Amino acid sequence: MGNYLFKLAALTTTALLLQACGGDAQTAAGGAAEPQQTYEWKLVTTWPKNFPALGRAPELLAEKVEAMSNGRMKIRVYGDGELVPALEVFDAVSAGTAEIGHGAAYYWKGKVPEAQFFSVLPFGMNGQEMQAWIQYGGGMELWEELYVPFNLIPMSSGSTGVQMGGWFNKEINSKEDFRGLKMRIPGLAQDILSRLGGVPVNMPGSELFTALQTGVLDATEWVGPYNDLAFGLYEIADYYYYPGWHEPGAIIEFTFNKQKFEALPADLQEILRTAVEAVALGMTNEFLARNALSLQELEENHGVVPRQFPEDLLHELNTIAQEEIDKLADLSPMGARIHQSYREFEASMSEYQDVSEEAYTRARKL
Amino acid sequence: MGNYLFKLAALTTTALLLQACGGDAQTAAGGAAEPQQTYEWKLVTTWPKNFPALGRAPELLAEKVEAMSNGRMKIRVYGDGELVPALEVFDAVSAGTAEIGHGAAYYWKGKVPEAQFFSVLPFGMNGQEMQAWIQYGGGMELWEELYVPFNLIPMSSGSTGVQMGGWFNKEINSKEDFRGLKMRIPGLAQDILSRLGGVPVNMPGSELFTALQTGVLDATEWVGPYNDLAFGLYEIADYYYYPGWHEPGAIIEFTFNKQKFEALPADLQEILRTAVEAVALGMTNEFLARNALSLQELEENHGVVPRQFPEDLLHELNTIAQEEIDKLADLSPMGARIHQSYREFEASMSEYQDVSEEAYTRARKL
C-alpha cells in the first residue's frame, strides 16, 4: 500500500497548490505533473476493429478513461492492420509508435519465450486460476520484470475462459491424426504439435477463414463459440472439437509504453490501471455469457455438433505438455523463477479446487 | 452505448465552458455538475473493519476513488457496529445515513426476499456464472429495478467463490443429523435447513466464534478457508465440511444511495462504477488465491481435515433446493421475472460448461 499513500500525498499537495492559487487549474500545477494537460493516445490491437469481446475491450477502456478523466485523456483504438499489423503490436508499443497495445503474451514467444507463462499453457491453469496467480500470486511482478527490457508495462485484460479445441477438416481419433496437419495454433501448443509431426502456423485471426478455405491450413483453433461464430469458421470446417486443452483460459494483455505511462500524472495512471481491471472483469464475464449463447446458435442454426477429443489422446497430450512446460524453466534464470512461481501456485490451486469449485461441480451433478 | 455518449457529450460541454472561462475551475461549472466540488462520503459494512478480502474491498474502493478523483472524493469506511450494526446497512444507505453500503443481498431477505437471487442460491450458479449473469445476462437490470423502491443502486463487488460447507460439532452422515441443529446459515439455505427440522440462525460474522463456543450455535458456516481462519473457527469446532452447497459462489454487494449517487457529476459516477468493477475483479482473485493458502495453513498448522458431505445427502439437499428456488417465482411478479432470467441463464451455462470449464477439468485429471 506504500505506493497508494505516496500517490495520495502527491495528489493532496497538488490540490493544496490549486487552492492556494485560487483555482486556476491551467497554471497552478507545480513539478512534473500537469493535472489539466490533455492526452491523445493510440491503442493498437491484434484483432479486427470492434471484434466481439476481444476488440470490444480496448474500446471500453477508451470510453471509461475519457469519462473518468473528464475528457483529459482520449484513446483512439486501431484494429489489426490499421496502424500496424497484428503481430507487430509488441514492437510498436515498445518503440512508442502507439502508447498502448492489446494482444496476448504468447504472440511474442519468438522474442520473449518466457512470456508464454502469462497468456496460457497447455494443460496448465484455467482462466480463474491464472487471474488469481497474476493478481494475488506473484505473477504480475514477474510479468512486469520480464517486460522491463522492452520498455513495456503489461496488464491483464481478463481471460477468454477455456477455449474450444478447434476446427478440423477430418476426424481426430489419435495422435497420429496430427501428423502432417497444418494447424494454426499459438504458444507452447506449437511445440506440442511439432512433436506429433504436425505443422504449427502462426497467423492472426483475421486470416483464418481464407487460409482454411484455400487449404493453406488443415485445421485452426481460434477462441470459443462467440469469436468462432463471428469469423464464420463453421462454414468451412466439418469438425469442432473440445476441450481447448491447449488454451485452458488465455489471458489477454494490455501493454503500455513504460516511459509514456510513467510520465502521466498519478491520477491518470490510477484511472488507466483501474479501467484495465474493470475491463478485465467485463471481458471475462462477456466471454462466458456470450460463448454459451453462441454455442446454442452454432448448434441450432448451423448444425454444428461439438465432439470431445478422445480421452487417451488428451492424456497423451497432457504428458507431452508437462514436459514442454518444464523445459521453459531452462530458458533463462527468469524462466526458472517464473516456472517455479507458476508451478507452486498451480499446486495450491489443485488441492483447493478439489474441495471447492470442482467439489461443487461434482455435487450439483449427483 | 447511448449512456456513454450522453455522458461524454456532457463532459465535453463542461470542458468547453471551463476553457471559455480561462480555466477558473472553481466557478466555471454550469448546471448540476460542479466538477471541482469535493465529497466526503461514508461507507458502512457488514464485516469487521479491514477483515480479509470482505473488509479489504471497500478500503480498496476508497483508495482508488480518492486517487482517480485527485482527492475530490474521499470515502471513510466503517466496520460492523462502528456507525450502524451489520444487519442495518441496507436501511442506513436507503435513508442516506451513509452513502455506500457493503454486504450481501440475502441479508435483506426479510425485507426483499427476491434479493436472494443476487447473492447466491443453494445448488444454483457458481461465482463465475453469477458474475456473467449479472453483467451480461440481464441480472444487473433486474437487480437495479428491485432496489429502486428502496432508493438504492446495487453493484456487484465480486464473488467469494464456492464456500465451504461449515463447521460442526458432530459428524454429518445424513439429513437426520440436521434435525434440531442450531446453525448460522444465510439466505435460502435457511428454508432448506428448516425443512430438515434444523434451526437456522441469522447472525453477523463477528458473533460466530462466541456463539459456537457458548453453545448458542451447534454449527456455523462462514465463507471459506481465508475468512474462517481469520475468525479462528477451527479452535472450537471438530468437523469442517465441503462443498458449500448452500453458497456456490456468493456475490458481495455494494449499495449506493440513489439520490446521492445521481447527484454526482458524470465523471465521479464513472469513477465509482469503474472502481467497483476493479474491486470486484480483485476480491474474486484474492479469495481464490488466499483460500488455497489458508486451506494449507488450516491443515498443516491446525490439524483440520476437511470432510465431504455424503453424496446421497448432497443429492437430497439439491432436490429440496430446487423446490425452494422455484417457490421464489411465486413471491411477486418481480420474483417471477428474476426467476425466469436466472433459470434461462443457468440452463445456457449448464450446456456450455459441459464442453468448456467442466470438460477441461475432466481432461486434466485423465
Residue A346 contacts by C-beta under 8 Å, 6 or more apart in sequence? A124, A125, A129, A133
Instruction: Encode pLDDT of B82-114 as tens digits.
Output: 999 999 999 999 999 999 999 999 999 999 999
In contact, A28 and A17? CB cutoff 8 Å: yes
User: Which residue is listed with cell 446454442?
Assistant: A296
pLDDT of amino acid A17: 36
Cell of B314: 448432497
Instruction: Encode pLDDT of B116-146 as tens digits.
Output: 999 999 999 999 999 999 999 999 999 999 9
Long-range contacts of B341-344 (CB under 8 A, 24+ apart): B341/B133, B341/B137, B341/B138, B341/B139, B341/B142, B342/B117, B342/B121, B342/B124, B342/B125, B342/B133, B342/B139
Q: Which region, left, alpha or beta, applies to residue A299 given φ > 0 means left and ψ of -120 to 50 means alpha?
A: alpha
Instruction: Encode pLDDT of A59-73 as tens digits.
Output: 999 999 999 999 999
Q: What pTM did the predictor assign?
A: 0.90
Q: Calculate the alpha carbon distances from A39 to A73, A263, B120 in Å.
A: 5, 11, 43
User: Which residue is listed with cell 483501474?
Assistant: A274
Mean pLDDT of all residues in chain B?
A: 91
How far apart, in whole angstroms, are the C-alpha atoms of residue B310 and residue A129? 27
Contact state of B348 with A293 under an 8 Å Cβ cutoff:
yes
pLDDT of amino acid A36: 79
Pick from A13, A229, A356 the residue to mutate for testing the B interface (most B CBs within 10 Å).
Answer: A356
Closest partner residue to A162 (CB to CB) among B274, B277, B357 is B357
Nearest chain B alpha carbon to A139: B289
Is the pLDDT assigned to residue A6 strictly greater than 70?
A: no
Average pLDDT over residues B172-182: 97
Q: pLDDT above 90 covers what percent of chain B? A: 90
User: Which residue is listed with cell 448540476?
Assistant: B32
Q: pLDDT above 70 covers what percent of chain B? A: 90
DSSP states of A104-135: -GGGGTTT-GGGGGGT--TTS--HHHHHHHHH
Distance of residue A231 Cα from the nearest chain B Cα, in angstroms: 19
Is the pLDDT assigned to residue A30 strictly greater than 50?
A: no
Is the pLDDT assigned to residue B33 strictly greater than 80?
A: no
Distance of residue A63 Cα from the nearest chain B Cα, in angstroms: 7
- Which residues in chain B are contacts of A318 at CB distance < 8 A? 363-364, 366
Is the pLDDT assigned to residue B38 strictly greater than 60?
A: yes
Burial of B24 (0-12, 13-18, 19+ CB in 10 A): middle
Average pLDDT over residues B315-337: 98
How far apart, in whole angstroms, are the C-alpha atoms of residue B207 and residue B212? 9
Instruction: Encode pLDDT of A202-229 as tens digits.
Output: 998 999 999 999 999 999 999 999 999 9
Q: Report how far Cα A350 is from the mean position of its chain's Cα atoms.
A: 22
Distance of residue A95 Cα from the nearest chain B Cα, in angstroms: 28
Contact state of B274 with A274 under an 8 Å Cβ cutoff:
yes
Please report the domains of chain B, with CATH numbers, ordered by start residue: 39-160+249-289 (3.40.190.170)
B183 — pLDDT class (breaks 50, 70, 90): very high
Average pLDDT over residues A349-363: 97
pLDDT of amino acid A210: 97
pLDDT of amino acid B1: 33
Please provide residue B78's backbone torsions phi and psi, each rounded to the nearest 5 degrees. -115, 130
The number of beta carbons lying within 10 Å of the beta carbon of residue B120 is: 29
Nearest chain A alpha carbon to B127: A357
Q: pLDDT above 90 covers what percent of chain A? A: 90
Contact state of A161 with B64 under an 8 Å Cβ cutoff:
no
Average pLDDT over residues A265-293: 98
A163 — pLDDT class (breaks 50, 70, 90): very high
pLDDT of amino acid B36: 79
pLDDT of amino acid A256: 99
Q: Calculate the alpha carbon distances from B295 to A167, A190, B164 in Å.
A: 40, 36, 11
